[in-house]
Copies of this chain bind each other. A is one copy, B any other.
């Protein structure tokens, strides 16, 4: 019986797995370098958890299941609710600031398309307990530090930065009621994703006032904090939010990543829980979806039954990143899938048993070893050793009658005879 994989999922054969390890490994190294600690939660949570704050789009795309006890569960579509739950559970014993990262596998029942799959990996970094734009700057810096480490330059990508706080103040300033803001955010977030006319029409409909909608459209186009005053009058709330944005850009400049950063009022983020600085990183051509997104979410822990604690974070999926790196020629498709130090080549059947013994002893000494399984001609086995990327080849041939092996350096081609026992005890010494 032949069964296909589930639509929208990926099989990671060794070459694809090496690529996944390259991406997730880079995320991990960048996280640790920036002082984040790793955490993880279960693959499923109570379904109810995602109804609190995840936003309608995510709730519609849940893979839900009912267990034997009749509990409604869902495979995690994002890890932030789990983070909020975990932090709240131990809020009194966790030293602050909490700087955590995670590399969760997530599932969303989306229509599979370019850069979007039903199962993917996402890098998450979060700083909890710092009520200062310095934490937002550190999140953006860490994101860019990773992207820079895989050779993406400021000519390839831009971090587009805005502020929900600033947007809220501006919208209130021009006459939008505070309780209608949560309805407007997902609409504004669609700006770059749908045709300009459709966006404009939807905006007018939702706002209900053509003139206000027009002003909002103008605000969305603003690319410098200094130009906002050209469109609306700056009251105290707007001024305070603007000062925060200016401080953020100043910090990013101090950190040496200003070239990667730009102010962009059209960055809103779809999720309901953002409260301050928000950002997305995009490829400069704009051909792809956002590489990542994040921002400040100061109310989330409270919404999950905990105390009021400031928080800010970022999430980056592996799918769009992989497409961009491939487009830019920054992905090696022949990443090594094995790590062989020694290849043991047996030239004569009568020494098969010895080849097995030597291979086992190399491995027990903590070194990686490959074995040809069957005695074969030297040329064929050296080819095999090369294919495995072995640094050295242990050749068991006629010299073995005198207790010797031939040790060949695969890089230089140099080879020398050495007593088997001497070779094995040299390995023990390295352990």
Contacts and interface: CB of A to CB of B under 8 A. Distances in A.
A329 to B, nearest CB: 22
A88 B2 contact: yes
Given A3-B46, A43-B105, A14 B35 contact: no
A423 interface: no
B67 A63 contact: yes
B254 A337 contact: no
A33 B364 CA distance: 9
A409 B134 CA distance: 28
A1 interface: yes
B255 A304 contact: no
Contacts of A34: 363, 368-369
B43 A1 contact: no
Interface residues of A, number: 90
Q: DSSP class of A's interface residues: helix, strand, loop or mixed? A: mixed
Contacts of A333: none
A174 interface: no
A366 interface: yes
A9 B63 contact: no
B73 A6 contact: yes
A349 interface: no
Interface string A5-40: 111011111100110110000000000111101111
Contacts of A68: 109
Nearest to A12: B40
A197 to B, nearest CB: 30
| Copies of the polypeptide in the assembly | 2
A78 to B, nearest CB: 15
B14 A39 contact: yes
A220 interface: no
Interface string A40-58: 1111111011001000000
Interface in A319-370: 337-340, 353, 356-357, 360-361, 363-364, 366-370
Most buried by B among A2, A11, A367: A11
25 contacts: A2-B305, A3-B85, A9-B41, A10-B42, A11-B89, A13-B39, A13-B90, A14-B39, A18-B38, A32-B338, A32-B368, A34-B363, A34-B368, A35-B368, A37-B337, A37-B338, A38-B337, A43-B75, A64-B65, A67-B109, A105-B105, A145-B363, A148-B364, A254-B357, A256-B360
A257 B340 CA distance: 22
A18 to B, nearest CB: 8
Nearest to A95: B387
Query: 4 tightest A-B contacts by CB?
Result: A2-B305, A9-B42, A255-B360, A14-B37
A249 interface: no
